[in-house]
Amino acid sequence: MLSRLLVTGASGGVATQLRPLLTQVAEQVRLSDIREITDLAEHEEFIAAELSDQAQVDAIVEGCDGVLHLGGISLEDTWEKILVSNVIGMHCLYTSAQKFGQPRIIFASSNHAMGAYKFTDMLDASALPRPDGYYGVSKAFGEQVASMYHDKFGQQTLVVRIGSCLPKPKDPRMLSTWLSPRDFISLIDRSFNVEHLGYTIVYGASANTRRFWDDKLAVDLGWEPKDDSEQFAAEFADLTPYEDAIDQGLLTYQGGVWLKAPLI
């Protein structure tokens, strides 16, 4: 059990789903974001911080023995915005972690770091990044920051290339990429409790029948996702509502339509 877990990006969609479950991994939870949270539970506190401001990031990291780094731009956006939140923000976080005892970090990377691979490609952690936009490039950069801090300083990180973390899949592609909140919590639990985490990469997807990712290189982590999106497959048996998206490559590239979309 962690004493105090820092969650960045705590006002966002993923953190909002995970918050009620985080009591399983930490006694106290420090929530941080640029958007304020007011509905705090007893074990939670909120400290606002801009991820690209080193002093503000120092203030949130100090006193935490684990970090769940969800903060940043979470969709394709302008390079300028991605640079500030995802590139400079990543540098600030790892700089702070060195100052304050190297808490283990779970870095929310993305399937979009690998989005240009096809559905027919079965990837493991040794696959080279193939981003499908600047957002994916920033996640690939973040993974390399974590790798360098591990090799140079021994900072331990779990990189989780999240597929689609939602209560349930919203389109046919998500039958492959869905990550249930329950499986994400068990992954977080393993990451903070496994004896040696080192620098580990996993694909953040549940035990979906249609998964196109293989976590065999992360077997030491001992993570066993339980949920399978197949329980929702009947909802997408009729593909008529998705025909446009399918024409645009929704069922071709692992990152969906992003590869063929223009840069912003």
Ligand X SMILES: NC(=O)c1ccc[n+]([C@@H]2O[C@H](COP(=O)([O-])OP(=O)(O)OC[C@H]3O[C@@H](n4cnc5c(N)ncnc54)[C@H](O)[C@@H]3O)[C@@H](O)[C@H]2O)c1
What amino acid occupies position 167? P
Q: Which member of 165, 185, 221, 257 binds ligand X (CB under 6 A)? A: 165
Q: How far is the CB of 195 from ligand X (least distance, A)?
A: 26
49 or 218: CB nearest ligand X: 49
117 is catalytic: no
Q: Which member of 7, 28, 74, 159 binds ligand X (CB under 6 A)? A: 74
Q: How far is the CB of 1 from ligand X (least distance, A)?
A: 23
Q: Which member of 34, 40, 41, 55 binds ligand X (CB under 6 A)? A: 34
Applying CB under 6 A, the site for ligand X has a residue count of: 26
How many angstroms separate the CA atoms of 68 and 10, rounded? 9
How many angstroms separate the CA atoms of 5 and 196, rounded? 18
Q: How far is CA 19 from CA 15, 31, 72, 188, 219, in A?
A: 6, 9, 18, 12, 27
Q: Which member of 2, 7, 12, 77 binds ligand X (CB under 6 A)? A: 12
Residue 143 touching ligand X (CB under 6 A): no
Q: Which member of 9, 115, 131, 225 binds ligand X (CB under 6 A)? A: 9
Q: Which position among 134, 135, 149, 253 bears the catalytic label?
A: 135
Q: How far is the CB of 247 from ligand X (least distance, A)?
A: 24
Residue 50 touching ligand X (CB under 6 A): yes
How many angstroms separate the CA atoms of 212 and 127, rounded? 12
Residue 70 touching ligand X (CB under 6 A): yes
Residue 108 touching ligand X (CB under 6 A): yes
Residue 140 touching ligand X (CB under 6 A): no
Q: Which member of 28, 52, 191, 229 binds ligand X (CB under 6 A)? A: 52
What amino acid occupies position 204? G
Q: Which stretch binds ligand X (CB under 6 A): 84-92, 144-152, 219-227, 235-243?
A: 84-92
Which residues within the stretch 109-138 sit at the binding site for ligand X (CB under 6 A)? 110-111
**Radius of gyration for the chain, computed over Cα atoms and rounded to the nearest angstrom:** 18
Residue 76 touching ligand X (CB under 6 A): no
How many angstroms separate the CA atoms of 230 and 253, rounded? 20
Residue 72 touching ligand X (CB under 6 A): yes
Residue 225 touching ligand X (CB under 6 A): no
Q: Which residues are catalytic?
A: 135
Q: Which residues bind ligand X (CB under 6 A)?
A: 9, 11-15, 33-35, 50-52, 70-74, 84-85, 89, 108, 110-111, 162, 164-165
